[in-house]
Amino acid sequence: MVVRNIAVFTGGAVIGAVAVGTYFKSKQDTVKAVAVPGAVTPVPTPAPVPVSVLTPQQPQVPARPSPPPMVSQPPSTAIGSPRKIMPHGFPGPVNDFFAREGYVASYNRQFRHPNWVAEHLTTESLKDAEGVNRGKSTFKEDPTVPDLYKAKLSDYLRSGYDRGHMVPAADCKFSQNAMDETFYLSNIAPQVGDGFNRDYWAHFENFCRKLTKKYEDVYVITGPLYLPYQDPVDKKYYIKHEVIGNPPNIGVPTHFYKIILTDRGNGDMAMGAFVLPNNVIQNEVPLTAFQVPIEAVEKASGLKFFEMLERKALKNLCKDTECRTMPHPKSLKDSKMKALPAQ
């Protein structure tokens, strides 16, 4: 029993880029939808709430937002109190949090892949430590995830999808343990192989690493999305995606996002948000075709990114540097072949 993803980007990633770009890039408060295959639902783009404005004279410390208003709680003796209503436990949802050597992550028990992963890249963290070798690492089930919610190696067997790293192994070459931890299935999501995970997505990951040559600190948050598409016949919007595994339990995301924050080391920061379809993307498609307002990713994911910063003061990453992907060396592509599930 397989739920098929109907959000197909006809004609390759060019239409996908147009659809995503048109959806997200509107400067109006409400983004207009485009009736093309792969187009996604309009998402309001709320203006970020200003917190503070940093000046060169002020210490470059992230500003804290005002705390939310306190919500009164009913007394424990009330008939409708939480203790009375749920005396035998709270159902959740539970999002497992992992603090690894090279990254932190939140795991989604329903779809059995990360909600998000976060990493901090520097020239130091990207150095090759002696003896660290990707060939020593193997994909493995995460023993810290309860068996009922665990992604399993057999779930990817003959699925047709790569085991796509959310935190790339190449970002964690500073120790063998750090690299090994990127191979936990709790850091993996199903990705299209040729044309995406082993190609454009890999180029995008390499772009993030190369940013450390210009910026002292590079912060990257990566995760999956399930975006609606407009049916060309009835004009209604649907979220439809494939589910793999036996029984089917691992969701196949329709899209993936990366939020990138760069810092030159003096508080001079830039930020960029990108959403890419989980499909074949031609190398000729510019990375800027997938740049979107960060508020739209927040709306689609239910997450909040870098809320401790005055985001209006941040530069546009693609105006501060050239956002361009470059095909990686063949050796790197060959190493990506390890992401293939067993046949």
Residue 66 lies in a domain: no
Q: Based on the residue annotation, tell me whether 255 is a catalytic residue of this protein.
A: no
The total domain count for the chain is: 1
Element (H, E) at 201: helix 200-210
CA distance 290 to 41: 16
Residue ranges making up the domain that contains 212: 13-46+92-339
Q: Is 283 annotated as a binding residue?
A: no
pLDDT 10s per residue in the chain (343 long)? 444 433 333 344 444 554 555 555 543 343 333 333 344 444 444 444 443 333 334 444 445 555 555 555 555 556 678 888 999 999 999 999 999 999 999 999 999 999 999 999 999 999 999 999 999 999 999 999 999 999 999 999 999 999 999 999 999 999 999 999 999 999 999 999 999 999 999 999 999 999 999 999 999 999 999 999 999 999 999 999 999 999 999 999 999 999 999 999 988 999 999 999 999 999 999 999 999 999 999 999 999 999 999 999 999 999 999 999 987 665 455 555 556 665 4
Domain for residue 251, yes or no? yes
CATH of the domain at 136: 3.40.570.10
Would residue 74 count as lying in a domain?
no
User: Which residues neighbour 183 within 8 Å (Cβ) at sequence distance 6 or greater?
Assistant: 137, 138, 139, 140, 165, 169
Asked whether residue 267 is domain-assigned, the answer is yes
> Are the C-beta atoms of residues 39 and 23 closer than 8 Å to each other?
yes
Q: Which of 88, 113, 120, 165 is catalytic?
A: 165
Cβ-proximal residues to 83 (8 Å cutoff; 6+ apart), any chain: 76
Q: Which of 243, 204, 232, 205 is nearest to 15 (CA)?
A: 232
In a domain, 161, yes or no: yes
Q: Which sign, positive or negative, has the C-alpha torsion 33, 113, 251, 192? A: positive
Whether this prediction's pTM lies above 0.85 is answered by no
Q: 223 in a domain, yes or no? A: yes
Could you tell me if residue 85 is inside a domain? Answer: no
**Domain contains 26:** yes
